[in-house]
Amino acid sequence: MKLTVVGCGYLGATHAACMAELGHEVLGMDCDMDKVAVLNSDKAPFFERDLDDLLAQHTRSGRLTFTASYAEAAAFADLHFIGVGTPQLPGEHAYDLSHLFSAVRQLAPRLTRAAVIAVKSTVPVGTAPRVRDLLHEFAPAGDAVEVAWNPEFLRESFAIEDTLRPDRLVLGFDTEHSWAEAVLRRCFENIITAGTPTIVTDWATAELAKASANAFLATKISFINAMAEVCEASGADVEQLADILGHDVRIGRRGMRPGLGFGGGCLPKDIRGFMARAAELGVEQALTILGEVDAINNRRRERMVDCAREQAGGTLAGQRITVWGAAFKPETDDIRDSPALAHQLHELGAHVTVTDPQALDNARKLHPELDYVDDPTAAVQDADLLLHLTEWPQFPRIDPHRLAARTATPKVIDGRGTLDPAAWHEAGWTFRALGRP
Ligand code: UGA
């Protein structure tokens, strides 16, 4: 099949490459010419495991190209996925849908034939009819343009795997047995025949599927972090507690890692956007739980700053602090709303050195006031305190004995629960961890 993907960020670029992998002829479209140039040179404009290779394979095979032209996109295919960003409005909880509506408005006047617009972006429930209205008003093909809702559940750093082998496929349509359904079933045929649970539903349920999945995931993380608060007050160990809870198959250990909490471009803004939409719908009370989820999450970050202050003897001013991690989670260079809060420590007067295997360029651009060092061992030189804030797998492999020699006051706080307390104690470190005795 021929198809386009409008919006080539984390979601769109991955989707485009994966659709080419499924055998389709794909044109990725993004209004950012620089991004298009990078993508056409076989690279992702961000770090995502194996994505460069997949892009290279399919740009070379000719199945995948990128453009900045809506006219080209409209002419190229009759199936258009939209995966533009829907960030949080500055100073508000609600979503900024301007990129989505702008993409629809630019595409619409160029749709002269029947087409399917399949939206993947995360939106407040009730957005699909607004997209349909715009299309029917501005597209020359009128109501021959159908809207489908196809929410995306991929995780950054597992984006290719989650796209090609998703846990489930959700397809939302306005009417039963629409043409759009036949088109999308053909597009995803390989995924469907591989046995992926495929749920065909209405627009609102498809929109809500995404909002509620992220709300649940955020709640699970904040639940275990609330337990971490109780553990800290009672001397219990949240890591063991999470293991014990996780053995109950109804609860499950996955997605329940205690620590600094959730960040990134999705979970924080999605729970806020969901609450804002519930308030508009008059069911604000149904989601007050998410306000608490957000508050618990923010308290973890404050707790880390408090722990650092305690370890520093009461004030961070003048302290030399090394932070392992800048990305919001491992295997990404994404620092959006990252809980690895180095700049806050800097604002409190600390002299902060940051290291991260992938996110240093992005961190440097956003916080040029901090020091950056590539090597996590060298970064610890002369530090008064080490904070472990992003759980890259390489950090626990570093020998704490070798590190201890680099500092006169070997003190570490593990914000992610992946360092081995016994090994660090044995190497002479004062070791503290969130939620652990
Ligand atoms: C999240 C969801 O997991 C995806 O299903 C969803 O498609 C995506 O948002 C989205 O809406 O696009 P992502 O933000 O890539 O994916 O990352 P997660 O792996 O969910 O991690 C989010 C944050 O929670 C990270 O800061 C991570 O460190 C933290 N986390 C995650 C925990 O603190 N504990 C956990 O057990 C899991």
Give the closest residue (by CA) to ligand 1 atom 18: 155
318: left (phi over 0), alpha (psi -120 to 50) or beta: left
- Claim: this prediction has a pTM higher than 0.90: yes
Residue nearest to atom 6 of ligand 1 (CA): 153
What percentage of the chain carries pLDDT values higher than 90?
98
Residue nearest to atom 17 of ligand 1 (CA): 155
Q: Report the atom number in ligand 1 closest to the C-alpha of 225.
A: 33
pLDDT 10s digits, 384-432: 999 999 999 999 999 999 999 999 999 999 999 999 999 999 999 999 9
What class has domain 211-298? mainly alpha
Beta bridge partners of 200: 171
Compute the distance between CA of residue 203 and CA of residue 185 in angstroms, rounded to an integer.
16
* HSE value, Cβ hemisphere, 13 Å, CA-based, for 214: 27
- Our mutation pick for probing the ligand 1 site, out of 122, 150, 217, 297, counting the most ligand atoms within 8 A of Cβ, is 217
pLDDT per position as a tens digit, 119-171:
999 999 999 999 999 999 999 999 999 999 999 999 999 999 999 999 999 99
Minimum CA distance residue for ligand 1 atom 21: 262
Residue 201 CA to residue 296 CA, distance in Å, equals: 34
Q: Which two tokens stand for residue 389?
A: 């804030």
Q: Which residues contact 125 (CB under 8 A, 6 or more apart)?
A: 204, 207, 208, 211, 277, 281
Ligand 1 centre from 217 Cα, in Å?
8
Q: What is the pLDDT of residues 416-429, one digit of tens each?
A: 999 999 999 999 99
- Nearest C-alpha to atom 16 of ligand 1 is from which residue? 155
Q: How far is the CA of 281 from the centre of ligand 1 (A)?
A: 27
Distance (Å) from CA 425 to ligand 1 centroid:
31
Distance from residue 59's CA to the centre of ligand 1 (Å): 29
- Would you say 260 and 390 are in contact if contact means Cβ atoms under 8 Å apart? no
DSSP state of 63: S
> What amino acid positions are annotated as catalytic residues?
266
Pick the CATH number of 2-196 from 3.40.50.300, 3.40.50.720, 3.40.140.10, 1.10.3720.10: 3.40.50.720
**Which of these, 23, 31, 105, 108, lies nearest to 68 by C-alpha position?**
31
Q: Looking at the CA of residue 390, tell me the nearest atom of ligand 1.
A: 28
**Any residues with Cβ below 6 Å from ligand 1, and which?**
122, 152-156, 214, 217, 221, 255-257, 259, 261-264, 266-267, 270, 328-329, 339
Residue 16 makes CB contacts below 8 A (sequence gap 6+) with 5, 8, 26, 28, 64, 66
Q: pLDDT band at 336, cuts 50/70/90?
A: very high
Q: Report pLDDT digits (tens) over 25-56.
A: 999 999 999 999 999 998 899 999 999 999 99
Ligand 1 midpoint to CA 368 (Å): 26
Residues 6+ apart with CB under 8 A from 377: 398, 402, 403, 406
Q: How far, in Å, from the CA of 262 to the mean position of ligand 1?
A: 7
Residue whose CA is closest, atom 9 of ligand 1?
266
- Given a contact cutoff of 8 angstroms between Cβ atoms, the answer to whether 400 and 427 are in contact is yes
| Token code pair at residue 186 | 């053909």
- CB-hemisphere CA count at 13 Å for 79? 22
Q: What is the pLDDT confidence band of residue 94, given thresholds at 50, 70 and 90?
A: very high
User: Amino acid identity of 399?
Assistant: D
Instruction: Collect all residues with Cβ–Cβ distance below 8 Å to 77 and sequence separation of at least 6.
Output: 1, 2, 3, 4, 25, 27
Q: Which two tokens stand for residue 400?
A: 């704490």
- In three-state secondary structure terms, 365 is helix
Q: Is 127 exposed, middle or buried (0-12, 13-18, 19+ CB in 10 A)?
A: buried
Task: Provide the mean pLDDT of the chain.
Answer: 97
| The amino acid at 55 | L
CB of 66 closer than 8 Å to CB of 30? yes
Both structure tokens of 166: 């998703």
Atom number, ligand 1, closest to the C-alpha of residue 260: 33
- Predicted confidence (pLDDT) per residue in 271-288, tens digit: 999 999 999 999 999 999
Q: Please say if the pLDDT value at position 83 is more than 80.
A: yes
Confidence of residue 176 (pLDDT cuts 50, 70, 90): confident
Statement: residue 306 has pLDDT above 90: yes
Contact assessment for residue 148 and residue 116, using Cβ atoms and an 8 Å cutoff: yes
Task: Please tell me whether residue 357 adopts helix, strand or coil conformation.
Answer: coil
- 299 CA distance to ligand 1 centroid (A)? 18
Distance 267 CA to ligand 1 centre (A): 7
Which residue, judged by its Cα, is nearest atom 11 of ligand 1?
266
- Most ligand 1 atoms within 8 A of CB, residue of 122, 266, 434 to mutate: 266
Equal CATH topology for 2-196 and 300-433: yes
By most ligand atoms within 8 Å of CB, the mutation choice from 155, 223, 224, 418 for ligand 1 is 155
What share of the chain has pLDDT > 70, as a percent?
100
CATH topology of domain 300-433: Rossmann fold (3.40.50)
Q: Whose CA is nearest to atom 5 of ligand 1?
A: 153
Q: Where are the domains of the chain?
A: 2-196, 211-298, 300-433
Which atom of ligand 1 approaches the CA of 220 most closely?
36
